[in-house]
Amino acid sequence: MEPTRIGVLISGGGTNLQAIMDNIKDGNINGKIELIISNKENAYGLVRGRKANIDTLYLDRKQFKREEEYNLELVKNFKEKNVQLIILAGYLRVLSKDFIQEFSGRIINIHPSLIPSFCGKGFYGERVHKAVLDYGVKITGATVHFVDEGTDTGPIILQEAVKVEDRDNLDTLKEKVLEVEHKILVQAVKLYCENRLSIEGRKVIIKWE
């Protein structure tokens, strides 16, 4: 089976990106990252990509009059690389309708909570973990899902829970959830690249070995 051609969108350090790169290198994921795009010029994920000899691109939103134009430029760059799967690995912008329709059923996102809790508009990055701690829940976690036109509303692929301890703070909780993010995002990408995921309504059916 030919490796799945992957495009990645990032905004920050790219630790989830690194987890995917490592698993591709080790042969665990039958994929090849063709292009990494960031909306932040100083995102360390771009450095990670360049070190691995992967094509990288910084696209400045300020160079485009409208959000739709920016997203169409993203589409154009990914299509030029014949990308089959888009991974949002800590990408902090909302994708346009045009982008989502172009890659329908082929966009995977990782979110640092157990959707549908602590998700949707305004819930991203450390804001999620702060909300979890403020609310006092005993369990949080991470979710990998397909992206649809809503915010964190697409069909769920994988989830894993993380206990919230009384002594946890923003940093410790973030670290625990990030460890789970790396694990389930890699697993979801592996399943996708092996053609073992199918969407039926709101459900993702996984063909386990």
Q: In a structure prediction context, what are the per-residue pLDDT tens digits for the chain, which is 209 residues long? A: 899 999 999 999 999 999 999 999 999 999 999 999 999 999 999 999 999 999 999 999 999 999 999 999 999 999 999 999 999 998 988 899 999 999 999 999 999 999 999 999 889 889 999 999 999 999 999 999 999 999 899 999 999 999 999 999 999 999 999 999 999 999 999 999 999 999 999 999 999 97
Domains defined for the chain, CATH in brackets: 1-103 (3.40.50.170), 111-143+158-209 (3.40.50.170)
Q: How far is CA 118 from the centre of its chain?
A: 17
Angle between helix 170-193 and helix 126-135 axes, rounded to 10 deg? 120
What is the 8-class DSSP label of residue 34? E
Other C-beta atoms lying within 10 Å of the C-beta of residue 161: 12
Active site residue 145: no
pTM of the model: 0.94
Q: Which of 111, 129, 145, 182 does the annotation list as catalytic?
A: 111
